[in-house]
């Protein structure tokens, strides 16, 4: 993922960058994502900015989860996820 040269903290505007997600239990995104596009339905496990883990059960294909996330964990069953920055 190319590192965008901006700060997205508290930015109310739509995403300016996107990158395909590779799930990991140890490697965080270069920047905190502003949302996740879900290409294939399933559950989405994310590490939140406060280091808590949250699972979004039953995410629908084609949906966007408006969540700030540090990474998508390997327990995720949804596919073709794109992080929005």
Q: Do residues 50 and 60 touch, judged by C-beta distance below 8 A?
A: no
Structural contact between residues 70 and 49, judged by C-beta atoms closer than 8 angstroms? yes
Give pLDDT tens digits for 15-56.
Answer: 999 999 999 999 999 999 999 999 999 999 999 999 999 999
pLDDT exceeds 80 at position 6: no
Taking residues 6-16, report their average pLDDT.
Answer: 74
CA atoms within 13 A on the CB side of 47: 15
Q: Is 68 exposed, middle or buried (0-12, 13-18, 19+ CB in 10 A)?
A: middle
3-state SS class at 2: coil
Q: What is the pTM of this model?
A: 0.88
Does 7 score more than 90 pLDDT?
no
pLDDT band at 3 (very low <50, low <70, confident <90, very high): very low
């Amino acid at each position: 993922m190319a590192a965008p040269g901006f700060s997205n903290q508290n930015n109310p505007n739509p995403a300016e960058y996107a990158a395909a997600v590779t799930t990991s239990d140890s490697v965080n995104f270069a920047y905190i994502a502003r949302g996740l596009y879900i290409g294939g339905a399933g559950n989405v496990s994310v590490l939140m900015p406060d280091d808590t883990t949250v699972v979004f059960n039953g995410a629908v294909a084609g949906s966007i989860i408006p969540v700030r996330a540090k990474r998508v964990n390997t327990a995720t069953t949804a596919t073709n996820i794109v992080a929005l920055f």
